[in-house]
Chain A
Amino acid sequence: MIWVTWRQHRAQALTMLGVLAIIAVYALAVGLWMRSSFNSDDLGPCVARSGGADCAATINSFFQQFNRGPVMPLVILFFLLPGFLGAVAGAPVLGTELERGTWQLAWSQTVPRGRWLAVKLGLIITALVVFAALLSAIMTWAWGPLDEVSIRLTPPPFNLEGIWLPCALLCGFGLALLAGLLLRNTIGAMVAGYFATEIPFLITTLAVGPNVFSTTKTVDCTGALCRTASTNTVPPVSGHLGDLVNGVTHAGNHLVVSYTPASAFWPMQFLTGGIFLTFAAAAIVSAVWLLHRRTT
């Protein structure tokens, strides 16, 4: 059954390896370039020393140089990738078998279809998780310098780091798997799975977002700082590089700052990941149950 899974999904596996290799090479190049620029601008020591206050202008120019430029292809790719790759991996498992009629061959050998599906799911899900974890690790490394001087809480790089990628990929996989069973069609299941993944994606970006972990703080300010403070100030008025400032209200000598602290990164990752995984689990369990129901 292991060989069967490999042989049937060999093309997708090799494609993913290819994608991984290409992204890795590109990310490596960008990451190294970023690091050299970071070091030559002496940003590291400056940030460590002053929390960014001393080198605000340098930070801004560094940000402009890299965030709009070389990383853009990766950013765009990663908005499309998880749903797409998940759908490509998930749709054929049941969709192609039902579409081509090979289910009659696959489920009339000596292995009950429950075991057939369990082994396939186990192997493919493991491979997807490993693939996504590797990709996340590479992207986290590549984003290192940017992460030091800017926010991690919004995509990008929120959807490139942490556990976001494996969870989103599994979600795309599960939804495409279920779509394949229901639609009995590969392309249709890929499309349906891809767009269905947008639902949890929108939920996490719009509803869950940084707002869930938002908090308020009152900051004393003097003179020019009071007048020019805004949500875009670098470093942020909430005090730490990496905080996401949602709103600033002026009140005499104080600023009331509504913000999401940088430390909310991992709680947000778990919440977002949890939402994706809930969708994934619901889809996969539904698919397994429906398949079981057709036999007994």
Chain B
Amino acid sequence: MTQDTASVPALRAERLGKRYGPVWGLRDCTFAVPPGGIVGLVGPNGAGKTTLLALTVGLLAPTEGHVAVFGQRSRAQTPLAMARVSYLAQDHPLYRGFTVADMFHFGRSLNPSWDQALAEARMAALGIPLTRKVKTLSGGQQAQVALTMALAKRAPVLLLDEPVASLDPIARLDFMRDVVAASAESGLTVLIASHVIAELERLCDWLLVLNGGRLQLAGAVDDLLAGHAVLTVPRQLADADLPGRVIERTDSDRHSTVLVAAAPELVLVAADRAGWVAQPVGFEQLALAYLRRPPGQAASLAEPLGSVGSAGRAVAS
């Protein structure tokens, strides 16, 4: 993976936190995402995904810390900051009484960088007439119109909040295909929030795991997968005798299956010597393991992992 130390991260959060009354929706969130990739934001409902996205686009103001898009803090609510992020909210809200043409007129009126040609081309390719009223479109078509609104804004960062949750499988695939195409074409940085981990595996090259308002894991997928291994070891082996750090341990009568965070050569050497079985960890397995950890505990874990592979880029320290 190429690394340009001078490049500005597409998204950077520093101790970001948001409190709703007595409850913290998000706490102590620190990460830095490089530009150009597709980032998966994973976590159960209520984990703080929507809060994080809303803070990034500037719809909410942080209680503590800050988040910046290509160096511009989202708190500013200036046109300069707002022009950098496109946002597709959950359930893709649209003005239901508007026609598709009206929606694009809306986009044109409120965005100087609006690309009307792109919007119309997408509608033509999808077979959606501009004169149709939004409320007469199917769920999948509405999602596509909403995506078009976000893409035609031509912002360098695109945030999608559970974009395919309400779509049938075919509509889902078509939607994600269009996101991938946009990402490949224009070097867009995409952040997709979802609670369905399996769907994100094929899409993401960067991962953020959120639970209970805390960031459990952050890093490039390749680095994270390379930096973890699943070891099958005798039951009586203590955690301290294992290489790296134990993330999750499952004990049976005579053996234990342990997910460790450790450099690959450490794992290979140790496994080879002791006769353990070492296997790579799957994407979903890794995300779930970090999700299952108590919120807040893994925060310190994310930092050392940042030094695996793309040095220091995973987490700003």
Contact = CB atoms under 8 A, between A and B. Distances in A.
A1 B109 contact: yes
A294 B60 contact: yes
Contacts of B107: 109
B58 A110 contact: no
Contacts of B149: 105
B93 to A, nearest CB: 4
B94 interface: yes
B93 A110 contact: no
B116 to A, nearest CB: 14
Contacts of A296: 61, 75, 77
A101 B91 contact: yes
A87 B106 CA distance: 25
A234 to B, nearest CB: 54
A108 B85 contact: yes
B82 interface: yes
Contacts, number: 73
A101 B87 CA distance: 13
A104 B50 CA distance: 11
Contacts of A8: 95
B21 to A, nearest CB: 14
Interface residues of B, number: 34
A104 B98 CA distance: 16
A91 to B, nearest CB: 16
B112 interface: yes
A1 B110 contact: yes
A109 B77 contact: no
Contact of A108 (B82, B102, B105, B109): B82
Interface in A88-117: 100-114
Contacts of B98: 7
Given A100-B93, A294-B60, A294-B61, A4 B77 contact: no
Q: Is the interface of B mostly helix, strand, loop or mixed?
A: loop
B79 A111 contact: yes
B78 interface: yes
Contacts of B257: none
B111 interface: yes
A4 B75 CA distance: 25
Contacts of B57: 108
Given A4-B109, A296-B77, A112 B93 contact: no
B153 interface: yes
A295 B94 contact: no
Given A4-B106, A101-B89, A105-B149, A112 B77 contact: yes
Interface string A1-21: 101100110010000000000
B105 A7 contact: yes
Contact of B110 (A104, A110, A295): A110
Contact of B61 (A100, A114, A295): A295
A109 B111 contact: yes
B99 to A, nearest CB: 10
B45 interface: no
B130 interface: no
A110 B83 contact: yes
B106 A7 contact: yes
Nearest to A292: B77
B89 A4 contact: no
B58 A109 contact: no
Contacts of A295: 58, 60-61, 77
A105 B93 contact: yes
13 contacts: A1-B110, A7-B105, A8-B95, A100-B93, A108-B57, A108-B58, A108-B85, A108-B87, A109-B107, A111-B79, A112-B77, A112-B79, A294-B60
Given A4-B109, A111-B79, 11 more contacts: A7-B105, A101-B93, A107-B59, A108-B57, A108-B59, A108-B86, A110-B82, A112-B79, A295-B58, A295-B77, A296-B75
